[in-house]
Structure 1
């Protein structure tokens, strides 16, 4: 008996199985490879001048062909730090050609990629932080890149890394630097960014390109689609009202830009040659990095899994306790006689030898009195925790049922970590035998809850504390004595 063959259905698509992880990774590498080959064949990277420009972007040793080979051979090679769970990258932003101080890196952010927990902490370093620059001496950290800009192509980025490591104590193997025009073009080439503005603010002192100020710039709370120039103003604004003039507020805004741009880039169609070509053209003139293409590809793979909810920001802004505003004298200048006040008796001779020179002050950020960089580095070790707690902005009410003030000491430090801490009188009549913890947020502040559970001894209640509006309530019991 002949077997019966099923009828052919031209509209039927056979079921497909999801690709294994290794096969997905291999496919991603081959997509990059195909794009690069097509670009070369089209002449986008052909010719010595364009190859030279490509070498400007990637500051390490090698050329387009060796990089193409490593993109295939070294695709699975871990990034430096990846095997220890964290990859650190220094992100630098500068004005670029045509701006005052074109190579001063006024934006310095360390992106710490936690590959185990799929999280990123963005730590902003104030541009005025005092460091000791090789061959220069004490100076602001934003000058490190500029002072090395006349050396070989990799020197500026490595100088900035050395300065950042001096402040933070972190090992930072990678850097990526972009100037204002590159930022503007890159944002425009991905179609702009959709940014949620948390609160309305106005900056009356945003600088223009002629050493003056723009008309007051206002951002209104809500969603806004920003082109490159508008996004740059949003990220750089330093003098906004409504608490938007702080380093922390600016770092939060910069995080929004980074997150939105990451989302756009990871969704790019790598076969869209026009978009790829535009980005490459912009980056050729305005972008520098010691990350190689295969490392960038690896980094994209690591960060694709990281959601916006798991990207946190932290700023080393002066807090008056560990980090302070200060100034140092970097030289002296002689007074201008034309600007001296008139002498009552014109016949009186002035002994110019006793005229005191005017000190030239450099306003800086540095460790507070009786603090050192070691204290700052210990503080930075808490960056991940502080960033997470500040983002949730949780409130905690502490009641002490024991009557002993000493038992509240350990809870006092939570204010420094970003919690809104409030001590209130005990509302009960009889002291608790155990310390009881109430979660009024009903799991809405998970990072804060996790930290408190890991660092304090208490018994969690199954119900909330309805008479309090705080996210959490803790009633300290006799077990704390």
Structure 2
């Protein structure tokens, strides 16, 4: 016998077979590959800069200080001052900007480098949000075509041009980094005090130096328009699904390919492939015990000296390293601000003499919605990891109410199935956790104004393998 008192109504009879149809596919806020193997992907070490930190460890930066003029930019300190800063960072006496506020933001940038078209355009832009208080890190990919107001009174342009324009005007890595940080602060609403930039020629050389890397290719794709660096194209490049061994050249082509048919032809897929290359290089270097081999260590440091630049001091880098190590941070959330979020949409605008492809807030969305995406990144990332399936019924008989709630849940990456409901109207939206999904439950509670109930909704034939949360819409959402 069902507990009718919990809901105060005659139970509807609803079974799995009553479900009319599944909702749209899950919105991919994260790397599609990570959905299949989340634990493996979450070992990625803070993309670009933390790759160096976690691979080479604290000791490296004593050596790195001797080539500090190339690596550490925007810092008017002597070699011995940098050594002192390194010791202070190791002892914990260096504080990072944002540490007292509970979040440290680092902008991670990838550029093509000399010999590539647009050598200083940022192919990769990732905001790393480090939360030492809860021992978590979020990596958020920013689309290179996002429309912003560029510094220097340049007007509107793509966000990937900010670093290039800053470098063109100042011929200085730190100034270029400031321009990039400025536009990222503009769209995120957050203070971004730090940046690190690496050009992919550096990774190509590093990969060759360690004997190549192994990468799991998620799906077969072919790029028919990969530039040859001479105003033409290479022969078609095909990457076949499966575990593949790449040298530096092939790995760079895999990371930078953008003209394949289907999903792999997007800039968003490319940013995820770049993270896979970084992860694979990290794993290879770690497996080779580079720290204990002075020759290998010096070789890699020489490569990074010419291709890696940051405004983070040696002491601050050691502080980040110690925070990551001491908090046991070995799982990172990874998100992408892309059109699948339904927050930003593609379009075109005239830039110069051409109609340029851009992305910007969708109709009905505002810059505040974009800022909220970055503000709620940890909650969104956790919720996606849960991969919850929601059954939702509507007691209000209001098409608008259901569509509004449906959009909110799907925009957050949830899989939503509509189930019929024919009984009386609820005065409040309620939900029940079939399987424990705390992040999803918190989101539904806050977003729909829902109350959680402890007993299963009567009349539902529940299969724990097919549903995680049941929602019944009431008078308020």
TM-score strictly above 0.5: yes
Q: Normalised by the size of structure 2, how large is the TM-score?
A: 0.73
Q: 1:64 corresponds to which residue?
A: 79
CA separation of 1:217 and 1:306: change in aligned 2, threshold 3 A: farther
- SS of 1:149 mapped into structure 2: helix
- SS of 2:263 mapped into structure 1: coil
| Contact 1:248 1:314 (C-alpha < 8 Å) held by counterparts | no
Number of corresponding residues: 409
1:365 is aligned, of 335, 359, 365, to 359
Q: 2:149 corresponds to which residue?
A: 132
Instruction: Report the Cα offset of residue 231 of structure 1.
Output: 3.2
Q: 1:102-152: per-residue Cα shift (whole Å, max 9, x none)?
A: 111121111112222332222222222222223333222212222222424
Q: Does 1:91 align with 2:108?
A: yes
Quick one: distance in 1 between partners of 2:211 and 2:84? 31
CA separation of 1:372 and 1:34: change in aligned 2, threshold 3 A: closer
2:68 is aligned, of 51, 54, 70, to 54
Q: 1:304-331: per-residue Cα shift (whole Å, max 9, x none)?
A: 45666x3222222235954233333344
RMSD: 3.7
Task: Decide which moves more: 97-106 or 271-280.
Answer: 271-280
Q: Does 1:471 align with 2:453?
A: no
1:302 is aligned, of 323, 328, 343, to 323
Runs (4+) of structure 1 moved beyond 6 Å?
31-37, 428-434, 477-481
Quick one: distance in 2 between partners of 1:300 and 1:260? 20
Quick one: distance in 2 between partners of 1:107 and 1:33? 26
Q: 1:228 corresponds to which residue?
A: 248
| Contact 2:149 2:157 (C-alpha < 8 Å) held by counterparts | yes
Instruction: Report the Cα offset of residue 172 of structure 1.
Output: 0.7
| Contact 2:143 2:268 (C-alpha < 8 Å) held by counterparts | no
- SS of 1:398 mapped into structure 2: strand
Quick one: distance in 2 between partners of 1:34 and 1:366? 43
Instruction: Report the Cα offset of residue 269 of structure 1.
Output: 4.6
Q: 1:337-393: per-residue Cα shift (whole Å, max 9, x none)?
A: xxxxxxxxxxxxxxxxxxxxxx54333223345654334223332333333434544
| Contact 1:432 1:475 (C-alpha < 8 Å) held by counterparts | no
CA separation of 1:192 and 1:32: change in aligned 2, threshold 3 A: same
Q: 1:312 corresponds to which residue?
A: 333
1:146 is aligned, of 156, 160, 164, to 164
| Contact 2:215 2:246 (C-alpha < 8 Å) held by counterparts | yes
Structure 1 alignment gaps of length 5 or more? 1-27, 46-50, 332-358
Which structure would you say has the larger RCO, counting Cα contacts within 8 Å and 6 or more residues apart?
2
Q: Normalised by the size of structure 1, how large is the TM-score?
A: 0.72
- SS of 1:327 mapped into structure 2: strand
Instruction: Report the Cα offset of residue 232 of structure 1.
Output: 2.7
CA separation of 1:451 and 1:190: change in aligned 2, threshold 3 A: farther
Q: 1:334 corresponds to which residue?
A: none
1:169 is aligned, of 165, 179, 189, to 189
Instruction: Report the Cα offset of residue 280 of structure 1.
Output: 1.3
Q: 1:434-464: per-residue Cα shift (whole Å, max 9, x none)?
A: 945243xx55x66445644666422245899
CA separation of 1:435 and 1:324: change in aligned 2, threshold 3 A: closer
